[in-house]
Structure 1
């Protein structure tokens, strides 16, 4: 499954120098880019606080028992992590495949490979934890079947084209959200993995599944439940952890095998995903994207 390949949309010539600049920065070694990240950290955390009110509010609501000093410590650690992720994404367009595979290690590829051996579609539920861009790029380097990432197209033609290039250069396909069902039907019975970033805030119009997530009501998309049952897909949660600066590991947890009867409860797959993600965040809260307005909708 190669994903939908739409024609590159034209963009203004004024963006050409920006493309050159981004590609030039991508060829800088990571140690040098981390020096830049230190400056970005100071800028975002102290000079022009980037969504700091959102970050602190999310942390306070998610960890109501933590003292304020601990909340502020996590806040600063998050900004440092976020700054490093920014320059890591900048490096991605020119990072050699061998280096990326060394820096983003899959601990248990066999969990997905056994489903691929049966010709089964696998849904990989990821989140904005660790380095979510590196994990999609590293997937084709570790898995025995093609991988496609579901994404929301960007409104800016330049950034849409550039991010498609960055995300697909190691072999991953890209599927716009609106074309997921068409792709699933067209490639039914083919071994592949479809990656979905599943911690997005589902709005009332999406008929979300509501559950307690980090001490707050949170709505999750239910499309995973429908796809898994209709196409007999296995469903894996993808946990991403930073072990040290510039080095990550990701790991699969099976949420559904694609064949067993599901419990007669509402959205059991998404409930299991919410509990897995909650544990991952609690183990390393600074590695989650707290600037994300995860709880903007109300039940």
Structure 2
């Protein structure tokens, strides 16, 4: 089911032409632009620098201030590279994307497709998260579907939607997730969830220690897996070098074993896998994200 996209005002057309023109530049040229974005965001305007440094200090209390600063600088450069890599999706061919993103073990999902089952893929804002779904549509026999939150600006919603679906990926608006899963129940596919979003107290999250800080996580993976008997995999995207990534899939739940109510074992397994990835690749996580902005509310006696 394709969402109805809002028409955007005509005065966005020059911006669209500019972005599409930039997208046609070779990546090696776009990386020069990324270098400039890095210098501007880190040294000139200090984009969310206080948030980034605070997140890093709390997450890596064992590191010195010098090490924290080095991770921060490397993160801002990586962040700028993700920007231009995402823009490149406007013209990138499926063959080129397949060369740049390697699925190391697609058989983890393919075995469920052979059984005619839907699986959930839990991913995060690490590596190049925008290339995960688009490359999954190229690598996986049953394609890839992703739950997303539509952008409020009609131009950027339309533009990003086109980028994300060019290679055949399908997008599911967040509010239509349950309806979509019911409608296409039994269809072999993977439905990807970005599961590191910050869940607030009103979402009745699963609270756990994450990178030395208590954080609330959405529990939709546990609830959907229990309701629909979906297998669940953790999707790890790791940067091999500039412009090249590999995706490793780890099974978190087989779709059939009993799940203990209220324990959120799947979400907890996701958190532990994500922590390992962040420790292994600290510069590749989205540190501008205010992941720990919510605090657990005290119990009412």
Q: TM-score range by the shorter chain?
A: over 0.9
Distance 1:154 1:188 in 2: 27
- 1:120-269 equivalences in 2 (<5 Å): 120-263=117-260, 266-269=263-266
What per-residue deviation string (whole Å, max 9, x for no partner) do you get for residues 211-268 of structure 1?
0000000100011111101111000000011010000001101000100122566100
Deviates more, 1:126-135 or 1:5-14: 5-14
Gaps of 5+ in 1: none
Distance 2:283 2:260 in 1: 34
Q: Tell me how large the CA RMSD over aligned residues is.
A: 0.9
TM-score (norm 2): 0.97
Gaps of 5+ in 2: 297-301
1:58 corresponding residue in structure 2:
55
What per-residue deviation string (whole Å, max 9, x for no partner) do you get for residues 99-121 of structure 1?
11100110000000001111111
What per-residue deviation string (whole Å, max 9, x for no partner) do you get for residues 44-98 of structure 1?
1111111000000000000111111110110111011111111111111101111
Task: Say whether the 8 Å CA contact 2:142–2:188 is kept in structure 1.
Answer: yes
Distance 2:135 2:219 in 1: 26
**SS in structure 1 at match of 2:198:** coil
**SS in structure 2 at match of 1:155:** coil
Equivalences, count: 296
Distance 2:109 2:5 in 1: 32
